[in-house]
Amino acid sequence: MKQHVDLTDKELRAAIRGGNIQFGGNTKLKIYGLLSCSSGKRMKRANRVFFEKEEEALAEGYRPCGNCMRSSYQKWKQDTEKG
């Protein structure tokens, strides 16, 4: 997990192009999603973190975004309701 505030714009672009960052997350809401998500683009830089893989976000306790990752969110929701 990488904090947005710890990365320069140049480092961030290089990490995205290199495939080292594929998902973005919100530390306050504990939600992660695609970098192209309109919901994610509105969050404050101080609250934004980045993940290389979906498994990394889930391991950190984040849930999928219901907007850009609808199928992953539905699966997560079903799994959490089962207990």
pLDDT of residue 14: 96
pLDDT of residue 83: 65
Question: What tokens appear for 18 in the block?
Answer: 């290199």
Helix residue spans in the chain (DSSP H): 9-17, 38-41, 54-59, 70-82
pTM (predicted TM-score): 0.89
| 3-state helix vs strand vs coil in the chain, percent to 5 | 45, 20, 35
Question: What tokens appear for 33 in the block?
Answer: 């999603």
Query: Domain limits at 69?
Result: 2-82
pLDDT digit string (tens) for 18-62? 999 999 999 999 999 999 999 888 899 999 999 999 999 999 999
pLDDT of residue 41: 85
| Domain tally, the chain | 1
Any idea what the CATH number is for the domain that residue 48 is in?
A: 3.40.10.10
